[in-house]
């Protein structure tokens, strides 16, 4: 067993500083390019051998093996563990990066776009010719061609963001627990045994699995050799001991089971690295699950390891998730806390250790989520206090097990699997190691559908015919808004027109991705039991499988229907003018605009408009749920908009709610910015009218709070105030409360403060890092594009989604 | 015995939610209409009149001709490049056609609401109040609608809500309400009876008497002092506050620094904010004032 008693907290913290320093200097990320080149050369060599190529899954296993054997390795100053995911990431990949522009963002659908990221560096031997050679090779391969063919038929509908589709490489939570406990050698032996009794594709898959598991064991050996060589040359005796410890540990794990916390963390890092290498160049949104539960057995076995040292070890583990010098969101998520199916709380020592590590490090990555339930112990709440009390600190997003368990039941998850749910990236609940959710497979824009309904299928942005015309929707072209019932029917017709198109295109992306099997990841996703790759579209390789649909524009659509109804009931003459007013972006229609803006708005506990939101969420969820992925499983409605409410709003003209053309849509299930005028309680009451169990794919919601809300007379502490006034009524823990929602993230700050920071960042934030949350991820506020910064600020303005601080 | 209809309804200006400002915890605050004082620095001047009324925000108008057109009685006119509202036309108007325009420049304040409706609303929002939050009745001056407020407080207490009242303390029967109020927030504008009467229309004799009564009952009470530059922030006046209040006992006192956020509402009412000082006390001034009072044995602090 690795000797761990010399791992003192002070020494580990010192080492971590060196790691962080090294990260900040790592401004090039070239590993992914080497990986693509190794794969290319391996494939070329196999083809040149004249022998028939092996089945696809075996072929990919061999490519993976070549990467594990040939990729240049290094151990940087301060590192006490071997392994990195830096080599798997292309430089620009991030949910939100500083170059993000609403006007130009087109999604990550071009597999060749990644080659725009790498700049030639002749001093490293990376010449323009070398880059071109690799790019040209992969551009001709089947995956790129097939994916382009999947996008081709979508045309204007995706260009103008009626819907969008993508191949989902990430958003998966591998279950490394068996590998940590038993070691890869045992799993490989099991795979070999199952392969011997299998035939056809299963046989190939098991053979592939043996190859990839052995490849990662070989990667560990290479690290052990490297560490040993470095140790022999190292003059500093303490550092030499570090390197010798790495060498000894990598010879043991992940080949064998881990026996203490240090070994478990080292094994985890190498497993993670293997998974990331297989997914290169885009391993974003791979998530860990409940890290506290995963590591607790090994912490319990770590006799002599002090709590402070365990915290510093956890900080070294968290450093794995910070890729190079970037502070950008890559949606890799870690959870702690929660309960089991009987309601027993599962908080453990590692829960507090992981939380403390997050707080101390305050890295922009990975994201942190905490599972709560009605009996979450006070100690866990108390441990959350510093996150919220410290401006610019990372803060966890919250999940409500009590309601989420019900949602998962409705989704068809077996009772014993439910407590193993984890967040796949931002807020999508999937079962760790058992569910391939393809969560971001499709994206739907209800506001654009509404626009096309009003204008007879013509885009208000481009004027082009995209959807059904008036005749096809059975609407009077002269006065399409005259009959409200007919108009609502037309909206559903327009939606039903696009849903099958979206389904077809999304499935084409999924089929394209099946050309890139992932036997290593599949080994931790149930592949050992099913004998199938998790991307194989012919047979289901994971226990649960679905496709996601992120639905945008709830508040704009609900408010627009309410405004139309209001006009119909009170100002019917205005209805005739409305389509033209919308096309003119309300210019010359100020009176009508005023009426539209004054109509009831979702988020104020007003039944007249909330009823439209209820109807929309239920009906759209039902319709999306009827779509089928290539395995015949349902699409899951996910009412979240990971900053895409800006993007999708950019492609929507003016809407009847008074929102002007190209303005952002509402975030997730939240009210549109600036329309929740009555404070937080009425807003939550509006949301509680929705059936949260409809949101089987998840949903997003943000609450912005002003720090002054907690200034005076808070009952004991900030987290207690948060729990009593926000979490308890929101999640249904308060006596008499509605059943409640299951997700929220918070930003506690103020618009004025953030504007001051932007005005004078050096003085206000000397460290250069001021963490805020966007959707499921942390971001360095200072690193964001102006549009995203403004989105965060707006959602913290007093008349927006904040709890009011008094009149 | 059934209550008379008048005591079952209240003229409500607005209902909002605040946290740890209008009493402990998260609270639903009912701003009632009507006040027997007219403090020149009032931040909520739309609560002074007991009657419903129209506010006109000229600063919210982007197209003046539309606002002018919205009133068929010519109450809105353009004069010297500025939109002017003739208030007495609005006061006499029953058609209120301007509200049909839905322009945000026109705002109607004052809705008669039944006590039962308010209690039902409190019940609806009960899960948000936690252990300490609840209902705050403010205004305006709640005791201007004494009978209905008494009934509202009684019903709220029957249903075990935490109740807070923000009052100017001038009503001589205020102590009769005390049993149903968990925390009383009484304003004391000035320690001198004559100055109080001259500036706010009412002296402070009853206010001090009511403070004394509540204090004697040993039930939660906070005295609130609006710190108004040039009116009550000089050392001599602060000393007088200290003497008067400490003469009652070791009271909890909160200093609320004057701000000008109400000015826009004075203008929307067609009035000029009577208090002309441009100066607003710095947070430091409020803190020093509180420290001043602490020297008199008072438990003084600042609200913001």
ipTM of the modeled complex: 0.90
Mean pLDDT of A323-329: 72
Per residue in A748-802, pLDDT (tens digit) is: 888 888 999 999 998 898 888 888 888 777 888 888 888 888 888 887 775 544 4
Does residue A400 register a pLDDT over 80? Answer: yes
pLDDT of amino acid A730: 97
| Cβ–Cβ gap A713/B127 under 8 Å | no
| Cβ–Cβ gap A736/B303 under 8 Å | no
Question: How far is CA B187 from its chain centroid?
Answer: 10
pLDDT of amino acid A805: 35
Chain A residues within 8 A of B104 when measuring between CB atoms: 594, 597-598
pLDDT of amino acid B6: 62
Which two tokens mark A689? 């009218």
DSSP type of residue A399:
E
Q: Is the four-CA dihedral A300, A306, A308, A313 of positive or negative sign? A: negative
Give whichever of A203-212, A637-646, A667-676 has the largest mean pLDDT: A203-212
Does residue A598 register a pLDDT over 80? Answer: yes
pLDDT of amino acid A553: 98
pLDDT of amino acid A323: 86
* Closest listed residue to residue A654, CA positions, set A799, A482, A447: A447
Contact A319, A363 (CB under 8 A): yes
pLDDT of amino acid A95: 56
pLDDT of amino acid A113: 84
Sorting pLDDT into bands at 50, 70 and 90, what band is B81? confident
Chain B residues within 8 A of A724 when measuring between CB atoms: 25-26, 130-131, 133
Report the C-alpha gap between B210 and A213 in whole angstroms: 81
Chain B residues within 8 A of A591 when measuring between CB atoms: 66, 101, 103
Per residue in A119-128, pLDDT (tens digit) is: 899 999 999 9
φ, ψ for residue A330 (rounded to 5)?
A: -120, 15
- Going by C-beta distance under 8 Å and a sequence separation of 6 or more, which residues neighbour residue B90? B53, B54, B56, B75, B270
Sorting pLDDT into bands at 50, 70 and 90, what band is A807? very low
Q: Is any Cβ of chain B less than 8 angstroms from the Cβ of A715?
A: yes
Contact B117, B11 (CB under 8 A): no
Per residue in B99-110, pLDDT (tens digit) is: 988 888 999 999
- Going by C-beta distance under 8 Å and a sequence separation of 6 or more, which residues neighbour residue B26? A681, A724, A725, A803, B17, B18, B19, B20, B128, B129, B130, B133
* pTM of the entire predicted model: 0.93
Mean pLDDT of A685-698: 97
Element (H, E) at B106: strand B106-109
| Cβ–Cβ gap A729/B127 under 8 Å | yes
Does residue B293 register a pLDDT over 70? Answer: yes
pLDDT of amino acid A105: 66
pLDDT of amino acid B261: 82
Does residue A713 register a pLDDT over 50? Answer: no
Burial of A406 (C-beta count, 10 Å sphere; 0-12/13-18/19+):
middle
- What CA–CA distances, in Å, run from A104 to A100, A144, A159, A326, A774? 8, 22, 11, 21, 20
What's the 3-state SS for A139-161? HCCHHHHHHHHHHHHHHHHHHCC
| Cβ–Cβ gap B66/A715 under 8 Å | no
Does residue A108 register a pLDDT over 50? Answer: yes
Report the C-alpha gap between A388 and A391 in whole angstroms: 7
Mean pLDDT of A572-582: 92
| Cβ–Cβ gap A681/B26 under 8 Å | yes
Mean pLDDT of A183-198: 97
pLDDT of amino acid A98: 63
Q: Which residue in chain A has the smallest CA separation from B29?
A: A806
Catalogue the E-assigned strands of A473-554: 544-545, 547-552
Which of B14, B44, B101 lies nearest to residue A591, judging by beta carbons? B101
| Cβ–Cβ gap B21/A682 under 8 Å | no
Per residue in A460-494, pLDDT (tens digit) is: 999 999 999 999 999 999 999 999 999 999 999 99
Chain B residues within 8 A of A715 when measuring between CB atoms: 24-25, 130-132
Does residue A654 register a pLDDT over 90? Answer: yes
Contact A502, A153 (CB under 8 A): no
Contact A526, A172 (CB under 8 A): no
In Å, how far is A721's CA from the nearest CA of chain B?
8
Does residue A102 register a pLDDT over 70? Answer: no
Which residues are paired to A290 by β-bridges?
A335
Q: Is any Cβ of chain B less than 8 angstroms from the Cβ of A709?
A: yes
Give whichever of A91-95, A779-783, B70-74, B141-145 has the largest mean pLDDT: B141-145
Burial of A682 (C-beta count, 10 Å sphere; 0-12/13-18/19+):
buried
Mean pLDDT of B249-257: 95
In Å, how far is B53's CA from the nearest CA of chain A?
19
pLDDT of amino acid B278: 62
Which residues are paired to A435 by β-bridges?
A544
Does residue B1 register a pLDDT over 50? Answer: no
pLDDT of amino acid A22: 87
Does residue A731 register a pLDDT over 50? Answer: yes
Per residue in A16-51, pLDDT (tens digit) is: 999 988 887 877 889 999 999 999 999 999 999 999
Mean pLDDT of chain A: 92
In Å, how far is A641's CA from the nearest CA of chain B?
27
Mean pLDDT of B130-141: 95
Mean pLDDT of A352-367: 94
Report the C-alpha gap between A401 and B260 in whole angstroms: 46
Report the C-alpha gap between B23 and B182 in whole angstroms: 10
Per residue in B15-30, pLDDT (tens digit) is: 999 887 899 989 999 9
Does residue B2 register a pLDDT over 60? Answer: no
Indicate the range of A178-192, A201-215, A556-570, A738-752 predicted with least confidence.
A738-752
Report the C-alpha gap between A47 and B287 in whole angstroms: 81
pLDDT of amino acid A93: 62
Chain B residues within 8 A of A714 when measuring between CB atoms: 20
Per residue in A275-285, pLDDT (tens digit) is: 999 999 888 88
Mean pLDDT of A487-514: 97
Q: Is any Cβ of chain B less than 8 angstroms from the Cβ of A803?
A: yes
Report the C-alpha gap between A660 and A584 in whole angstroms: 10
Q: Which residue in chain B has the smallest CA separation from A738?
A: B127
Question: For an interface test with A, which of B19, B100, B220, B261 has the most A Cβ atoms less than 10 Å from its Cβ?
Answer: B19
Burial of B229 (C-beta count, 10 Å sphere; 0-12/13-18/19+):
middle
């Amino acid at each position: 067993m690795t000797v761990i008693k010399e791992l003192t907290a002070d020494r580990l913290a010192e080492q971590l500083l060196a790691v962080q320093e090294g990260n900040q200097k790592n401004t090039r990320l070239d590993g992914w390019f080497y990986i693509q080149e190794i794969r290319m050369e391996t494939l070329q060599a196999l083809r040149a051998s004249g022998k028939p190529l092996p089945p696809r899954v075996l072929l990919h296993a061999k490519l993976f093996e070549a990467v594990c054997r040939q990729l240049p390795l290094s151990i940087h100053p301060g590192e006490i563990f071997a392994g990195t995911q830096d080599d798997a990431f292309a430089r620009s990949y991030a949910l939100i990066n500083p170059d993000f522009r609403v006007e130009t963002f087109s999604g990550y659908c071009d597999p060749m776009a990644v080659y725009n990221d790498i700049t030639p560096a002749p001093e490293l031997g990376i010449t323009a010719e070398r880059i071109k050679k690799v790019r040209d090779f992969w551009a001709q391969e089947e995956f790129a061609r097939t994916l382009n063919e999947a996008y081709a038929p979508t045309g204007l509908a995706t260009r103008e963001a009626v819907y969008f589709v993508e191949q989902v490489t990430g958003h998966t939570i591998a279950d490394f627990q068996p590998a940590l406990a038993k070691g890869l050698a045992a799993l490989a032996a099991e795979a070999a045994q199952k392969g011997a009794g299998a035939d056809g594709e299963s046989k190939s898959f098991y053979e592939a699995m043996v190859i990839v598991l052995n490849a990662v064991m070989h990667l560990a050996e290479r690290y052990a050799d490297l560490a040993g060589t470095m140790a022999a040359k190292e003059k500093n005796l303490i550092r030499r001991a570090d390197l010798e410890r790495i060498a000894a540990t990598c010879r043991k794990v992940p080949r064998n089971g881990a026996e203490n916390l240090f070994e478990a963390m080292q094994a985890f890092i190498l497993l993670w690295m293997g998974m990331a290498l297989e997914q290169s160049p885009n391993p974003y949104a791979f998530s860990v699950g409940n890290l506290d539960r995963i590591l607790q057995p090994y912490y319990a076995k770590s006799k002599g390891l002090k709590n402070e040292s365990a915290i510093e070890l956890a900080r070294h583990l968290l450093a794995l998730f910070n890729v190079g010098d970037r502070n950008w969101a890559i949606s890799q998520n870690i959870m702690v806390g929660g309960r089991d199916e009987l309601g027993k709380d599962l908080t453990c020592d590692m829960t507090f250790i992981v939380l403390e590590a997050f707080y101390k490090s305050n890295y922009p990555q990975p994201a942190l989520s905490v599972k709560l339930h009605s009996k979450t112990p006070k100690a866990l709440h108390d441990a959350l206090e510093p996150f919220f009390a410290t401006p610019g600190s990372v803060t966890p997003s919250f999940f409500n097990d009590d309601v989420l368990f019900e949602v998962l039941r409705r989704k068809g998850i077996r009772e014993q699997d439910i407590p193993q749910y984890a967040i796949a990236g931002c807020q999508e609940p999937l079962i760790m190691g058992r569910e391939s959710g393809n969560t971001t497979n499709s994206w739907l824009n209800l506001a654009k559908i509404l626009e096309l309904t009003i204008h007879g299928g013509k885009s208000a942005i481009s004027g082009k015919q995209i959807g059904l015309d008036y005749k096809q929707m059975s609407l009077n072209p002269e006065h399409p808004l005259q009959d409200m019932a007919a108009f609502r029917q037309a909206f559903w017709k327009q939606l039903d027109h696009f849903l099958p198109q979206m389904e077809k295109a999304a499935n084409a992306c999924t089929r394209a991705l099946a050309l890139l099997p992932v036997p290593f990841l599949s080994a931790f996703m149930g592949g050992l039991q099913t004998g199938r790759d998790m991307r194989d579209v012919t047979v289901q390789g994971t226990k649960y499988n679905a496709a996601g649909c992120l639905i945008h524009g709830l508040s704009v659509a609900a408010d627009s229907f309410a405004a139309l109804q209001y006009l119909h009931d009170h100002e019917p003459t205005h209805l005739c003018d409305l389509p033209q007013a919308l096309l003119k972006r309300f210019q010359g229609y100020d009176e009508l605009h005023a009426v539209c803006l004054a109509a009831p708005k979702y988020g104020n506990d007003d039944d007249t408009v909330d009823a439209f939101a209820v109807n929309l969420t239920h009906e759209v969820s039902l319709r999306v749920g009827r779509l089928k992925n290539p395995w015949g499983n349902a699409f899951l409605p996910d009412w979240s908009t990971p900053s895409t409410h800006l993007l999708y709003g950019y492609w929507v003209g003016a809407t009847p709610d008074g929102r002007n053309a190209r303005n952002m849509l509402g975030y997730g299930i939240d009210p549109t910015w600036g329309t929740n005028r009555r404070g937080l309680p009425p807003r939550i009451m509006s949301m509680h009218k929705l059936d949260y169990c409809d949101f089987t794919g998840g949903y997003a919601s943000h609450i912005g709070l002003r720090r002054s809300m907690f200034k005076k007379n808070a009952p004991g502490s900030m987290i207690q105030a948060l729990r009593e006034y926000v979490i308890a009524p929101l999640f249904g823990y308060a006596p008499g409360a509605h059943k409640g929602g299951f997700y929220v993230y918070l930003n506690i700050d103020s618009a004025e403060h953030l504007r001051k920071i932007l005005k004078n960042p050096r003085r206000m934030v000397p460290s250069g890092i001021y963490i805020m949350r966007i959707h499921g991820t942390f971001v360095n506020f200072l690193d964001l594009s102006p549009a995203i910064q403004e989105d965060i600020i707006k959602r913290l303005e007093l008349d927006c989604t904040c709890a009011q601080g008094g009149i | 015995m059934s209550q008379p209809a008048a005591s079952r309804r209240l003229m409500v200006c607005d209902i909002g939610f605040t946290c740890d400002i209008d009493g402990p915890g998260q609270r639903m605050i009912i701003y009632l209409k009507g006040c027997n004082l007219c403090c020149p620095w009032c931040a909520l001047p739309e609560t002074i009149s007991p009657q419903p009324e129209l506010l006109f925000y000229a600063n919210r108008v982007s197209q003046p001709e539309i606002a002018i057109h919205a009133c068929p009685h010519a109450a809105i006119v353009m004069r010297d490049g500025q939109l002017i509202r003739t208030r007495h036309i609005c006061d006499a108007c029953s058609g209120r056609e301007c509200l049909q325009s839905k322009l945000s420049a026109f705002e109607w304040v004052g809705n008669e609401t039944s006590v039962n409706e308010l209690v039902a609303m409190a019940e609806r929002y009960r899960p948000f109040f936690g252990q300490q939050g609840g209902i705050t009745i403010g205004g305006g001056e709640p005791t201007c609608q004494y009978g209905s407020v008494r009934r509202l407080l009684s019903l709220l207490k029957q249903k075990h809500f935490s109740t807070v009242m923000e009052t100017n303390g001038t009503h001589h029967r205020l102590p009769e309400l005390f049993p149903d109020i968990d925390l009383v927030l009484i304003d004391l504008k000035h320690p001198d009876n004559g100055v109080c009467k001259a500036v706010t229309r009412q002296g402070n004799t009853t206010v001090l008497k009511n403070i004394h009564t509540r204090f004697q009952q040993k039930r939660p009470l906070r005295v609130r002092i609006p710190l108004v530059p040039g009116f009550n922030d000089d050392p001599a006046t602060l000393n007088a506050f200290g003497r008067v209040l400490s003469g009652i006992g070791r009271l909890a006192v909160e200093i609320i620094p004057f701000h000008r956020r109400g000015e826009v509402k004075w203008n929307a009412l067609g009035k000029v904010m009577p208090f002309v000082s441009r100066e607003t006390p710095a947070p430091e001034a409020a803190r020093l004032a509180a420290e001043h009072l602490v020297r008199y044995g008072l438990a003084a602090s600042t609200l913001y």
